[in-house]
Structure 1
């Protein structure tokens, strides 16, 4: 599969090692059967002169997995930042980019969050871009099943959706705020004629690229960002954004970054967005790249009262990790373990830090320690399953994920 892996990397940036070769093998075999071909080399050669067939292959290696308000903290933060920009520059229309947008849950969540925060519809527009035509068609329809609504905070569904048999139809007032279109982040002319955006959401897709492609992608994101704008990424991607030209926006759990030369007053945003202490998992099921395991945000120190010293230490470590200060966060976790003994939450946070450092082996070890101490630690289970999937242990990942799903169902019941 090496020749197909190289082609997919050149075309869409995908690092096959991040998803395992089995996914690519299945996609190639499916397309060969559809075309009645038996020779892999013949099929590979056909891809070079057939853009339509290449797109068909791309569609098969992209399995979208997302849901509404999956990244609630980031949406709270962008709504607060938008309000501040609206007050400071009332004539300025706000432009938001969701990339990749998958089946639409993210850009529609942003639109709902903005409307709920009191932003007039005429003051903002969201461009939602994806490389998968099937996902775009699904998103444009705006009709969703139960799997798109997860967790217990579903009040927005009553306000913005109309039940229709086994589905929910999104209101036109939300749909008209989002413009969907096809695009490839690594195309030479990607959004070349577009004006820069106030906010760019590119969460949990960089993890599917190797380091050179990650660097290339970040340069594209910087080009698309206004001088006083903000880029939102996934927690596992925070370290990639701490460059000479970017810095953390210091908004807890939003994983937002801005250009260093931009002068943005964020005090009111931090007050407006200060959510309770939550875990910050690298979003392992996502968007339009490939199947990873879903992550659910829950209190990281569920069994410790906020006023206790131990919770304060872990909260500080999490805040440091949010800011990309991974070494300091890791040192604080180690000090916590030395002072207070084994802790599932501390091991879990160490796993997140290792994930952000691209140290999968260490992350797996830490997640297993957390699960040993607390077998019901759902987040550790989900992240362990994701890493096992990445390393090709598909049956093991599925087994762990089923266990995590049972726990989630018990908690939601």
Structure 2
């Protein structure tokens, strides 16, 4: 076995990194970079320094791990999180919600979570976010809380106006958002990760497990399950959904969220609010290895408090068809899903169960950036069912991005009145 192979094996043992997942060339480049930095004559000399120099292995990790993240990445997952968190906050007026972001990289994900919860109306005193990453360099950048243009991709970027201040060094994050996040160094491969912490309501671990081999993936999922409350939710990346299903976790079935729950009768938030609908949900098909959204998801503020945890499902007659369409959306097949949803709508017309189908069509148009069509679909759903919760909150989010904050607030108030009756 060559020295380079030994180094790859060491990275795999210590941090779970499968060199084949990123390409051996990436590891070799990192080794060359560190060898030059410590003036090692060759790879064997660097191997010796790697074992004998304090901090060198961490420096190698920093060279291998290249952050690739941005604010409000995979927007639909954050939209769903806001609804679920608001529902929990409304149902229990004293509970402190706990969220975990792992890996948190340079902070874009945990800070997006904080903004999403604040936008959803969850009081700052009612939630805390733990953000964990193996990279000390990434955590240091997260603590600075200043970001360049590359951290803001897609659009609209109205959250940037609310939570950032532009300056010569970039966009500085509002201290109120930073205060919600505790940044910690940790390693998912460590079986004792966060062993002293109680489990979390919501866990985000997106686009990390694809870099592990199968045995390490299974162990990592076990750790994530330990860190997630029995009635909590685990959010993963698009390419990791099939792994969750293979490990016995149950997909929630909301399009483009890639959210999973424990396989327990009390493990789903949606079942608490609307058990008949959740019981009818079918698991979406497994996903390919690489995420395939055709374009960046539009970024919108998450709806205000009180949105329900139920998935976008209509009556009994169409639930299985919408579950199939949701599976297509979860694979990134937005155009095919929209076409299938339209075919369903052409078939069922404006019957009593069509509001959920129109709402799903709105979600698909919204995700593909077709704002006018999304507007029309949400309003059609509300014409058929004026109290349709998902449509109220999705349309409110859409109005917010267009600057119609009064209209968005009126829709949220309608939804909250309905939720208040539900909990009254």
TM-score for both structures, normalised by structure 2: 0.66
Give 1:358-377 correspondences, 5 Å limit. none
CA distance in 2 between partners of 1:265 and 1:170 (Å): 31
Match of 2:79 in 1: 76
Q: Name the CA shift for 1:294/1:106 in 2 (closer, same or farther; >3 Å).
A: farther
Counterpart-to-counterpart distance in 1, 2:158 and 2:288: 24
Name the counterpart of 1:177.
180
Q: Which residue of 2 aligns with 1:139?
A: 142
Deviation at 1:294, TM superposition (A): 11
2:92 is the counterpart of 1:85 = no
Conservation of the 8 A alpha-carbon contact between 2:233 and 2:268: no
Q: Secondary structure at the match of 2:55?
A: helix
Q: Quick check: 1:234 aligned with 2:234?
A: no
Provide, for residues 98-124 of structure 1, a one-character-per-residue CA deviation record: whole Å limited to 9, x for no partner.
Answer: 000011000000000000010000000
C-alpha deviation, 1:46, in angstroms: 2.9
The alpha carbon displacement at 1:92 in A equals 1.0
Unaligned runs of 5+ in 1: 272-279, 286-292, 299-312, 337-376, 378-413
Mapped pair 1:264 → 2:271: no
**Which of residues 108, 111, 117 in structure 2 aligns to 1:108?**
111
Instruction: Tell me the residue number matched to 2:343.
Output: none
1:248–1:323: 8 Å Cα contact kept in structure 2? no
- Which structure 2 residue ranges, 5 or more long, are not aligned? 278-286, 299-319, 341-367, 369-424
Q: Note closer, same or farther for the CA distance 1:8–1:256 as it changes in structure 2 (3 Å cut).
A: same
Deviation of 1:167 after TM superposition, in Å, equals 0.8
In our comparison, the structure showing a higher alpha carbon Rg is 2
**Contact 1:281-1:297 at 8 Å conserved across structures:** no
CA RMSD between the two structures = 3.3
Aligned length: 304
Report if aligned partners of 2:262, 2:268 keep a CA contact under 8 Å in 1: no
Counterpart selection for 1:26 from 25, 29, 41: 29
Q: Structure 1 residue 31: deviation in Å?
A: 1.1
TM-score by length of 1: 0.67
Match of 1:348 in 2: none
Kept in 1: contact 2:221–2:247 (CA 8 A): no
Partner of 1:186 in structure 2?
189
Cα distance between partner residues in 2 of 1:33 and 1:194: 40
Do the aligned partners of 1:162 and 1:168 also contact (CA within 8 Å) in 2?
Answer: yes
1:328-357 Cα deviation digits (max 9, x unpaired): x9xx99xx9xxxxxxxxxxxxxxxxxxxxx
What CA distance in whole angstroms lies between the structure 2 residues aligned with 1:266 and 1:256? 12
Deviation at 1:314, TM superposition (A): 11
Distance 1:249 1:10 in 2: 33
Q: Aligned equivalents of 2:54 and 2:196: distance in 1?
A: 23
Match of 2:133 in 1: 130
